[in-house]
Each structure stands twice: as structure tokens, then as C-alpha cells.
Structure 1
Amino acid sequence: MNLTPPSPRTVLPRRAAMAAGLALAMPGTVRAQGTATARPVTIIVPYTPGAPPDIIARAVGEGMSRRLGRPVVVENRPGASGNIGTEAVARAAPDGNTLLLQATTLSMNVSLFRTIPYDPVASFAPIATLMETEGTLALNASAGGTSLAEFMARAKARPGGLNYASPGVGTPHHLAMELFKRRAGLDVTHVPYRGLAGAITDILAGHVAAMFIHTPQAVELSRDGRVRVVAVTADARLPYLPTVATLAEQGVTGVVMRDWYGLFAPAGTPPELIARLNEAANDVLSAPDALRNLVAQGYEVVGGTPEALRERVAVAIPRWAAVVRDAGITAE
């Protein structure tokens, strides 16, 4: 797999405490560096700027920088369904200076690709689950219809005639639609994009009829009359979209699109560093105002232990493997 050069780094706002050059060891440990600034912690996001993992990394990273007393840098390394940036962290020194913010895709790629240059469990030391989001089905009102029933009727009347968008092959958006197609007995055609921005642009323009999308983007799209959010994949209606019924309420069950976003270090990172990073992340997540804007958009704060995140990754691997196998999906 060819690695692309890293994109320019974006340094999150520095605080006065950074001048002290605090060490990333146990709380209270200080490394004497005079007036020099401590080495930054780099969070690699293996997706494009503006994607949910990038948004979360910047919000949580800014708060962690204050708690660690060090700069936190967010670096986007997109490509190969997240494999490029993920591999970079798997190969990084286990010193707590290079971290990974990954999503559910970490558990999916092992089934989508014949080979991947890391092990989703063994190559990483989990730190904490940061947030989760639910999925929704959005339609271009003209091309796809204004309700789930209308979309299904149009799709059944024209098998293969309607297109749906995703940010790429093997993304949660793609797999959710494949699940939906099978549960609803529909034939609609996949149009993969290179990232979420292009997919959203084309559903707004009516070039595609539908797409599954997470709640933060759905909340924004629901304000535009060109797009209708017609169903959510959750077990119950969401407070951010109270008038939108669940798929199950509308007769389609078994469609899952609950995405998690977690923070990882390379395998072999000392436990005391993982504990310090976990503490800093959970402190940010527990601050009442720190993530208010994200929560209002539909991001659900999680937090918790490294062990809980490790279990999320491991449990999701066989579940998504079954979806990939049954749908005959391959990313290569």
C-alpha cells in the first residue's frame, strides 16, 4: 500500500500552561525544559477535514491540550478507507506522542480488504471511546421522494433506476444501505464518493436520490427543503429529530448504523501513559460546556475505559464481516 505524504498540520490553540513543558507521564510529573515548549501530541485522523472524526478530534484535542499542558496537533491522512493514517499510527513509536482517532471502520476494514497493514485489535492500545452517532436515511425530495414509503415505491417501480450516495466503498453509510436494501427488498445503485462532502453536495443537487448519513449531518440537512430526513436507524426517535420515525416504526427492521469514535495509541504504549491520556479524554468529555455544540448536533458523549473500547472493536469485527460477506462487498 502506497502512503501519501502527510498533509499540513493544524495546531490547536496553545494555552499558557504549555510553556511549562509538562511531561506526558503521570500527573504532576514535570520535565525540565526551561522555556521550551513540550513536544506536541499528534492525533492522526485517517479521513478528510470536516468529516465527523476530524470534527471530534479537534474538539476533544483542544480540551486535552489544556489538561496535558502540551500542544495537541490534528493531522489528516485520508485514503484507502482510513488504512493509510491507521497504518501510520500502528507503526509509530509507542511513546504517547502519536495517537489515532478512528471510527467503526476500524472493525470493518479487516473484512473489506484482502490484506490490511495492521491488526485492528493487536496493533493498538485503546484509550477511550469518545462519541457515538446514529444513522438516518436522507432523500432528495425531488429524486427520491418525501417519505420512506414514497422512496420504496419508486425503487420497486424502477429496479436499479435510483442511485444512492456514500462517502466510499465499505463505509458505514454504504453498509447501512446494503442492509436496508436487503431488509426492504430494494434494488438501488451505489455511487461511491471520495469523502462525505461530495456525497452531500450531490444529494442536495438531486444527482443522487438517497443516502444513509449520521445524525449531525442529518440535522443540518433537515433545515434544507431540498432534502428530507425520513427515518432513523435507532431503536427510538432521537431528540434532535423528534418528528422523524425509526425504520422499525415504518416496517423495516435490522438496519444498524450506530457509529463510534475512539482514541487509540500504538500497541506497546506504557500503561501509565494510556491511563494519563484516558484521564485527560474523560475530563474533556465530562465538562458540561466543552462539547455543547457537538451534542446539539447529535453527537452522543460516551467516555469510559480502554477495556470498553477494546471490546467494541473486537465485538464489531464478526458482526460487520457477516454484512460484508452477505452483500458481496469488497473495497479492492
Structure 2
Amino acid sequence: MTAFGIASRFCPNPAGEISDRKTLPKTLPRRGNPDEVHAMGLKLHVAVVCLSLFLAGESSAGDWPNRAVKVVAPVGPGGYTDVMARVTTDRLARMFGKPFVVENRAGAGGLIGTEYVTRSAPDGYTLWFGGGAQFTSAPLIKKLPYDPVTGLAPISMFVMNGLGLVVPPTLPVKNLSEFVAYAKARPGKINYGISGTGQSTHLAAALWASREKLDLVMVPYPTVPASMLGVMTGEVQMYFGNMVDLVEQVRSKKVRLLAVSSSKRLALFPDTPTFVEEQRDFTFTSWVGYFTPTGTPAGIIDKLSKAVSDVCREQEVIDLITGMGAECIGSSPGELAAAIQADLPLAKAAVDAAGLSGK
């Protein structure tokens, strides 16, 4: 625990502990009374320690960073989350004049990297960059050895990304309504691909199929590229994918994009409607952002949040993110915390629809 964290926990007002006259005795302890002498000495000692810890916490926030900062991505290299992490770390390094180094700690659906950060020192030198599923659906699917909500403090949501429903270009459907009719006429014969159990591609597809009362067959793939190959070859007839993973295949017409699950149309594909526009009550988005171990000084969190927000205002970054079918956000810590709470009901419904509750 940092000095600031200790002071905050044990000294609710560490600076005021010795500045408020009400906290000090009006008279000196009576001579010869060792209990009073000890009590006064102990109180003064605690007050001095608390003030020292408070000032140390303020100093650490002011000096931060004075060495390299590690950014843990709980995924393998090369994917969407990893790429987004590196987009930010390059710019954060320039802003702060110290290296921000991405460290990939993949495995167990993000559990390994996430647990590592929750158990790291809250000093601002180990950060977490990942997706919202770790806070919403993951705890519902299996018992975790940590609590991501209490173990990680929000810094800033970096990017929000809608999902797209794609089908093989040879499938005889041109829009969402036609696909629903096609699938309902063939119960148990339409396959849909997922790229990881419990991931957004799985949860979105299961929830939507449940709401539409479609009898579909799930086909699991180990990776996003494998899932994309499955839909391009017609091995599966439907795939819900993050838009950043679909852009090139949609542009090259290797898959057909029927609708997007964001709240509004994408500038990249303005002719593709949202599910809501197609009279389907369905909005499903994913996001990635920065967190830090709980107990990190507020001054460091504020510095990082402002820096991520500044990154999101760079035109080069805006063009890059928009070109990937996503939206740069740059939220405050409070806004990110609120987003997690708002996502919980939808996550619960999706996990139930996927039959993963309590596993």
C-alpha cells in the first residue's frame, strides 16, 4: 500500500490531525501520571506519522512518473486490445517523458493478467489495459480469485467498439429481417461462430438469438481469424464480431455486414443500419480502457485520465480509431465506473442466454 493509501485508511484527515486544535490536549499531562504521558505521546506520534504519510503520498503523485510504467494487457500480442494499448503507450511515453511498456499476460480468458495487476503495488507503475467483460460477464461465469471491481480503480475508457453481424456473401439474405426469416425456417441448421467462450462474440450472438427465438448451433473457434475464415467459407452462416476485426473483410466483400450493434451508424459504413433501426431492440458494445490497482494516489489517476483524454483529442488518433470502426472516448474515472455499472444488467442477460451462469 502506498503512503497515501495508508494515510487515507488510518488517518481520515492526516493533515488536519495536527492542525486542528481540538485534537490536542488543552493542558499538559499531570506530572507523575505515566498513562496520560503515554497517551499524549502516542497521539502526537500518530499525528506526525499520518502527516508524513499524507505528504509522501502527495509528493509521489507530483513526482510520478520517474521511471518506466508497465501496462499489462491480459491478451496475446497482435489483437485489438493489444493494438489499442500500443496506440496509447507510444503517446503517453511522449507526454510524460518516460517509457510506457506493454506487457502481454494472456491466459484463462484474461484472468492471469488481471489478477497480476490486482496484486501489484498501487504506485502508478503497473497499469491494466483491457475490456469491460472482465468487470461484468467474467465474474458471472466463474468464481474469480479476485474482485476486479474492488481490486482495480478506473482511469479512463479509451475506445468503444460496436459489434457487427456478418454472413457469408453467398447466403441468400440482404438484411437482418431476411436473415431472421431464413434462420426461423431452418431451426437447428444455422451455425454461428464464436471466438472464445464467454467473449463478446459469444455473448452478443447468444443474447440476440435468444431475443429473436432462433434455434442456432454454436461453433467455437480458438481465435478471431479462425472464426472469420469459418464465415467466409460458409462453414458458419453467422458471426458477431468486433467491428475493428471486420473492417477489412467487409470492405473486400469477403463477408456481408447486415447490421451494427452500436447506438448509431458507423461513419465507416454509413449505409449499414443499426439493429434498432431494423426494428430489433438490441444494442451491444464493448470497450477497452485503463485501470490501476486500487489504492493508487488520486493525483496519479487524475494525471493519467487527463493524458488519455488528450490522446483521444489527437486528430491522428481519431482518424485511426474511426478507420477501424470504433469511437475514441477518453472518459473520466467516474464515467468509466458508471459505464461498468450500466453494463451489468445486459451482461447478466447475455451470460444467462449463453448458458454460462455459475460455471
Structure 2 unaligned runs (5+)? Answer: 1-58
Give the 5 Å matches for 1:1-332: 25-26=60-61, 29=63, 39-106=67-134, 107-113=136-142, 115-142=143-170, 145-253=173-281, 255-330=282-357, 332=359
- Structure 2: how far apart are the matches of 1:185 and 1:319? 17
Structure 1 Cα separation of the partners of residues 248 and 357 of structure 2: 31
Measured against aligned partners, the alpha-carbon deviations of 1:114-171 in whole angstroms (never above 9, x if no partner) come to x112212100111111110112111112357443344323322221212111221111
Displacement after TM superposition at 1:224 (Å): 2.4
Give the superposition deviation at 1:43. 1.2
TM-score with structure 1 setting the length: 0.83
Residue 56 (structure 2) aligns with: none
TM superposition shift of 1:49: 2.3
1:200 and 1:76 map into 2 onto residues whose CA distance is 23
Moved over 4 A (4+): 24-27, 143-146
Q: 1:198 to 1:331 in 2, by over 3 A?
A: farther
- Considering only aligned residues, what root-mean-square deviation do their CA atoms show, in Å? 2.2
Q: CA deviation at 1:78?
A: 2.0
Partner-residue secondary structure (3-state), 2:167: strand
Count of residue pairs the alignment pairs up: 300
1:82 maps to amino acid: G
Equivalent AA in structure 2 for residue 111 of structure 1? L
For residues 172 and 296 of structure 2, the distance between their equivalents in structure 1, rounded to whole angstroms, comes to: 49
Q: Which has the higher helix share?
A: 2
Give the aligned residue type for 2:303.
R
Maintained 8 Å contact 1:167/1:194: yes
SS in 1 for 2:103: strand
Q: Using a 3 Å threshold, how does the CA distance of structure 1 residues 67 and 300 change in structure 2: closer, same or farther?
A: same
Could you tell me how far apart the structure 1 residues matched to 2:210 and 2:298 are?
44
Task: Confirm or deny: 8 A CA contact 1:25 1:276 kept in the other structure.
Answer: no
Secondary structure of residue in 2 paired with 1:121: helix
CA contact 1:144–1:210 (8 Å) conserved in 2? no
Query: What is the distance in 1 between the residues matched to 2:131 and 2:267?
Result: 23
| Residues 239 and 266 (structure 1), Cα distance of their counterparts in 2 relative to 1, 3 Å cut | same
In structure 1, runs of 5+ residues without a counterpart are: 1-23, 32-37
Measure the CA separation in 2 of the matches of 1:290 and 1:157. Answer: 45
Change beyond 3 A, Cα 1:241–1:30:
closer
Quick check: 2:210–2:353 contact (8 Å CA) kept in 1?
no
When structure 1 is superposed on structure 2, of 238-247 and 289-298 the one drifting more is 289-298
Listed one character per residue, the Cα deviations across residues 276-330 of structure 1 (whole Å, up to 9, x for unaligned) are 2222222212222234222222221111211211222233224312332344225
Contact kept? 1:101, 1:261, Cα under 8 Å: yes
Provide the secondary structure at the position in 1 that maps to 2:356: coil
TM-score, structure 2 as length reference: 0.77
Measured after TM superposition, the shift of residue 234 of structure 1 is 2.7
> Contact 1:135–1:256 at 8 Å: present in 2 too?
no
Distance 1:180 1:305 in 2: 31
Output the amino acid matched with 1:112.
Answer: I
Compared with structure 1, are the counterparts of its residues 207 and 61 closer, same or farther at alpha carbon in structure 2 (3 Å cutoff)? same
